[in-house]
Each structure stands twice: as structure tokens, then as C-alpha cells.
Chains A and B, each alone.
Chain A
Amino acid sequence: MSRFWIGGDVRRCEVVLAVWLVSLLWLVGCASASRDPEVLQVGNGAEPAALDPHLVSGVSEHRILSALFEGLAAMDPATLEPEPAAAVRWEVSPDGLVYRFYLDPEGRWSDGTPVTAGDFVYAWRRMLSPALGSEYAYMLHCLAGARAFNKGQTADFSTVGARALSDTVLEVRLEHPTPYFLKMQHHFAWYPVKATAVEAAGTIDDRNNPWARPGTLVSNGPFRLVEWQPNDQIRVERNPYYRRAGSVRLSGIVFYPVDNQQTEERLFRAGLLDLTSTVPRHKIPVYRQRMPDRLQSHPYLGTYFYRFNVTRPPLDDPRVRRALAMALDRQEMAERVLKGGETPADRLVPDGLADYLPPAGIPFDPEGARRLLAEAGYPDGRGLRPLDLLFNTSEAHRLIAEAAQRMWQERLGVRVTLRNQDWKVYLASMDALDYDIARSAWIADVPDAVNFLECFLTGGGNNRTGWSSAAYDRLIWEAYREADPVHRSALLAEAEALLLEEAPIVPVYFYRWTFLMQPAVHGLIPNPLGFIRWADLWLERKEHTR
């Protein structure tokens, strides 16, 4: 019996083995199939929910859309100042309320037809259509009359401050002076869409209009959509009709929606990705040591902070909140806990905004914190109930929460219990103010301090602390209407000082834009908004690097 296994037909075994080896070699051959060296391979995080600029909200969608479309103005990544894009120039009225844009007459859609001022008006009408329910429509509320139209109070779009004076001249009237209006134009919320392309596939305000797909998506940017294999890849190629097609050096880009950071890093290591969306935290020190030229880490306009629920005692007492804030050693948090090069934050608004002079931050002062806590009636934390610290499931959030828990316990005698929840449960808990302290973050989509500060307006959807201050609201609203940049900056700084004094939040650190990039990639200019101007990029691949 035991001879059965080897006693069979030896020759047959050999044949089977040979076939197996040959097929293995064939498979291995497939693995090293070559690819177009002029095509950039990009890891892009989550699968995009859609490619319709009016229905998306995420970073991964923004990345792809910024390759496909362009707004009236682009943003210089080095200075964050607006520069001509679909519009070659513009005029602003002295009161800052009326903008007149002159479109590039060379502007073409990817189907070869000209981009007109009417296309922008159409796009904004669609964006603001109440039935579309666009989550980013509020970005357009700075247009005169846009809020009323978006809320369905009027169905007449001519009441909104956007008018095509001719095919190439667009006039925009604003509700109030908006100093960052031009800077917003690089955001997908403002991109034009082509009416005939949208309406060939459905109605203007149907969320499920499937126009934004290969074959039907028409765009005006440096690249055009070729292929979208959901959860696999999105391929774009140079748009031959782009107004500056000659200056685009990449022949195409493939975006891979690799949502798993480890997988993305492995793909990068194998040379299959040129750019990643992020780096697994534990890999940062490894790259820093072994391949520092591949690791990119730059300041980013994002702040990680803790919210305090001010509707619950004892956190309704500003002294308790301020004491907790002052006892948090952000330096230690960044250097010893996070170790990813993050900048400790003592303020909400990150550095890197040219026209903003920030106020003094929350100091790290354990002595002062103890005094404040004693003043509030809780010397050395006596009499204070345990506070719960809510965060959504993530290794980094847990590390930070554990460090904060230790710091508050050691320095103030405040007991903190950790509570982690799945993302959506955590969001629901925050909205319902069912927490004491909650981990949070804010990433700017416009490089302006007000983008951070307006979150804490009374009753705002992103306030989520229950905090309300009439003085704060007044300062923000004054800043909205202020045309003078210096005075506006002062108003905002005053508002931030008030916010930090009352401490409904405690900032922890400022984000960094950290990703991996192959040395073959050139032309990427790091910027605190973390956007990439794909048209500027080029590749210099060495032979046989694959």
C-alpha cells in the first residue's frame, strides 16, 4: 500500500511537474509585463464615490477631479495664491463684490467644443439645485442669492449672482466680500460641467444621473477619463483639446483606490506605484532611516484636536476645560507618541496662512492647570467624576488617547476612561453630544483661517460641542463682511483667542502631508493643502527600474 504514492507512473509525474513549472514561468512572465513609462501610477486611498464634481466630498475624488477639470482660477502650490486657469484674467470691483472673469478663448472640453461662461453658470445652477442635495453646495453660498436658491426659496436662477455676459465673459456678484473667493476656484465645487453631457444621461438635478463615467464624462482639464474599473483602477490620459495640452508632460495617470495602507506601501515597494496617498505610521521611521529620498512629509492645513462637551458638568466650566487643555503636553505627544514628524499644536488654525497673524496659543502649564482646577472646586481632581474620551477605531487615535489619559491622570488627578467606536457610531455620538471628550480633526479645503473658525459658530453642524458665544459669532460675522484683509485677520485672530480662552476644544497637533514618492517623479510642489497639479508633473524613469 505504501508504495502506491511513489509506485505510480514515474513518467507521468515528470510530465505533470514539467507542466506545472512551465505554467509557473508563464505566470512569472505575466508579472513583469511592462507598462507605459510616461504614465504615472498613483495610490489614491478610498474608492471614489463618484466622479461627478457636484456629488463628491472626499480627498480621493478631489485628486482625480483635479486632473480632469479646471476651475476659473488655479492655485499656485508654492504661494497658495490664485493664478489664471480657465479664466486668463479677472477684474474685481473696489468693494470686492463683483468679479468679471475673462475666459481663455482656447478653452476646450474634452470633446473639442469650447468652454463657455454659460457652462460655469450651468454648473453652479446644478450645484445649487435643491433636489440634487449636493453636500458641498454651501461653498457657493457666497454668491449673491445662492443660499435662497439652494434652500428652494426661489426657483429663479437669475436671482443668483452668476451671469454670462458673453461666451467668454462671466460676471459674478457676491453676497459679501469674500477675500478667499478666488482661492476657492480650485475646489471641485466650482468646476464647470457641460450641460449637454449631463443631460444626455439624465436630468440636471438627479443624483443618480450616470453621466460621469467613461464615454460620457466630458471635462475641461489637462486629462480626460478613459477607464473606470471600480475598486481596481481609474485611468486618465492627456486631453488633446486642453488649452495648454502642449505643456502636459505625462501621457496619462492611473489612480488605484488602494484603501489598505499596508497594501499600498507594498505596491510602492515593488515599484508598482509612483506616488502613494499615505504611509503606514510604523513605516515612517523605516523609510526615514533607509530611503529618506522616497519619504515626503510636509506641513498640512489640518488640525487634530479634542472636543469638550460643554453641556455636561464639569466640562460646562471653562476653567475645567482650560485646565485639561493646559495639562496636555503636546510636545511629548508629537515627539514621543506619534513620532511621525507632526507639529505640536497650541492653536486651532495651523501655520502656513500668509495673511493670518495667530493669537497666543494654549500654553503647556501643569502648575497653572492644577491651580485652575482647584479654583473650579476640584483640587487635585477630587470630586471630579471620571470623564469618557471618545474616539473612532484607529491605532493612532488609541495611542494619543492613552497618552492624554495618562497625562491628565498624572498631572491633574483626573480619571479618564477610553471609549472607542466604529466611525459612524462615533459620528452619531458626537452629533448627539453623547460624550465628554471626543477626538476630532479639521482639514481645510480653503486656505483661510475662517475655514477652521466658522466650525464653532453657534449651532453650526460642525460645532458638536454645544459651545456658543455671542461675542465669537459676532467676530466671525464681522470678518465675513470685512473687505480689508488686515482688519479681517485681526477679527479672526481675536475670535481664535476667544475660542482658546474658553477652550471648547484643545488642539493636539497639526497634520503633515506624508506620502511616498519614487525618485522618478518630478515637478511636485508640496503645499499645505496637499493638492497635486498633475499637469506640472513629469517622469524620468531609468531603464530597467521595473
Chain B
Amino acid sequence: MNRRAVQWLGALAALLIALPALAGSYLLSLATLILFFAYTGQAWNVMMGFAGQLSLGHALYVGVGAYAAAALFVHFGIGPWAGLWLALALCALLGAAIGFLAFRFGISGVYFALLTIAFAEFTRIGFEHFDWVGASGGLFLKVAQREHTDLVNLRGSPAMFYYVMLALTAAAFGFCAWLARSRAGYYWLAIRENEEAAQALGIHTFRYKMLAVLVSSAMTAPAGVFFAFYYNNLFPEQIFNISRSIEIILGPIIGGLGTLFGPILGAAVLTVLADGLTELVAAVGWEVPGVKQVFYGVVLLGVVMFLPQGIWPALARRLGIGASGGR
């Protein structure tokens, strides 16, 4: 990172910290949503961007993390910080199971992506018949007290949720920056670019691919816990849906796969775009269901066709931050 990059980062951090004081509640909820997708995108990016393992089922970890913490809270009154550990453990376990199944038997590429979808769908249908957590009727948390902030039970104002998500995103960013420069990060890069060559150089590819899945799945769990306590309701049909997995991965791909800022930028662009489209459609009075998503798809098509590397590498060059595309 050069001096310009540090200046930009400082300015961005200052803006993000001051945001609740500057912005209205609408803007704040939008920013929280951006941070949520930046965080999950960052977690997914460890697997795909760093190690080249395409997961199309990350909604699984969001959902399991959310349900684990919410169920403990609803049934036993155990707070989210304790529930977080269960969420982390369950997600890591699921990640390990998928990774083991796939990598042990030489399943890769398209097949691996399919396996991740299959697990997510399997779990979705399972939860739809899992009565202890409300089955398809949904699981509900008592709506948050807006007046006073209770950080221990994650009940409080939108600003508190914003800061929690900001802290998570910042931590994920720092963690990924460290990972990318670590031994494992370089091994992943080697595996991503050419797995056979990496193996020939003596990298234990099975172990490091497993590590990527474990890190990525466990990292996604806190996002699920946050989701449960922020929205206060969980439906298997929504949270495990494949379209949610796709939402998670669009950010990093559009922002720039394997880069650190890509997931954040991509999440911001997509969320603002989606929201702007909603406003636009409402303003024009063309409120047929589906209009927004069609525009969304068209924009996505455009980005994929004309900016295949994502937005961030091009932007980084223009801003004069790091010729290597900001990695």
C-alpha cells in the first residue's frame, strides 16, 4: 500500500465512523446493508478469490449461523455473543464436511459448486420441516428496544447495528489483508492458478483447500448472527435461498475477485444500484413485480461483458493506488 492508498483509506474510515451523525435513518440502513454484503462477500472471497474454490451455497452459512444464535436466544435466553460460538462451530463443521467430501474425492470446479448448492438446498428443506425453530412458519425474535442500547444482547438502535457491522467488516478486511500476505495466502494463490503445479512444489493442496473452506465458512457465521438480531425474523425459504447465495457472490465478482476492496466496492455499487432502481421504478410509477430485477440482470450482464476483471482493478489504477490491482 502506498501513501495515497493510506490517505484514501483514512478518509473512508473517518466518513464511515461519522456516518450515523451525518446521515438519516434511511441512509444508515442502506449503509448497514452495504456493510453486510461487503462482509459476506469478503468471507466468500477467501474461498473463491484467494483459493479458487467456487462456492454457490454461502447462504448456508449465513442461515445456519443465524438460526443457531436465534434458537439459543429464543429458547434458552442465551445471548448472541455466546451463540456466536455455536454458530462458528456449526458453520466450520459444515464447511469441513463439504470440503472433505469434495476434495477427498477429487470433486472440483462445476461439481464442487453443485455440491455447495446441494448442501444449501438440502439444509433449506430440512429447516422447513424443523419444528423446533418454527419450520417454514419462521422464527421470530422479540423486536429490539430502540431507546437504549444493549450491546450484550444486540438489542438497540440502528446506529448500534451499524457500528457492529462496521466493526465486523473492518475486522474482516484486516484479517483478509493479513491472510493474503500470509504463507497460506501465497499457497492459495498457487492452488488457484495451477493446482497441479502447486502440488508438485510440495504444497499439501488438500489441507490448504480445506483451510480456505473452513476460514470462509466460519467467517460467514457472524454475518448470520447479525442478520438474525438485526431483522428479528428468519424464514428458511428466504435465508437459505439460492438467490441469496448469488447476492453474496455478486459483490466480490463485480468489485474484483481476489482483491481486498473488490467485495466492499461491489457491495456498495450493487446495493445502491438495487435501491436506486427501486426508487426509480416507484417514481416512474411502473411498479410491476420483476422490473427492478430485470434492470439488475441487465446491469450485471453489462459488467460481466465489459469489465471482466471487476470495477476495483480499473478504479485502483485510475486513483493511482497499487498497479497490482489493489491486492
A, B from the same assembly: no
Binding site for A on B (CB under 8 A): none
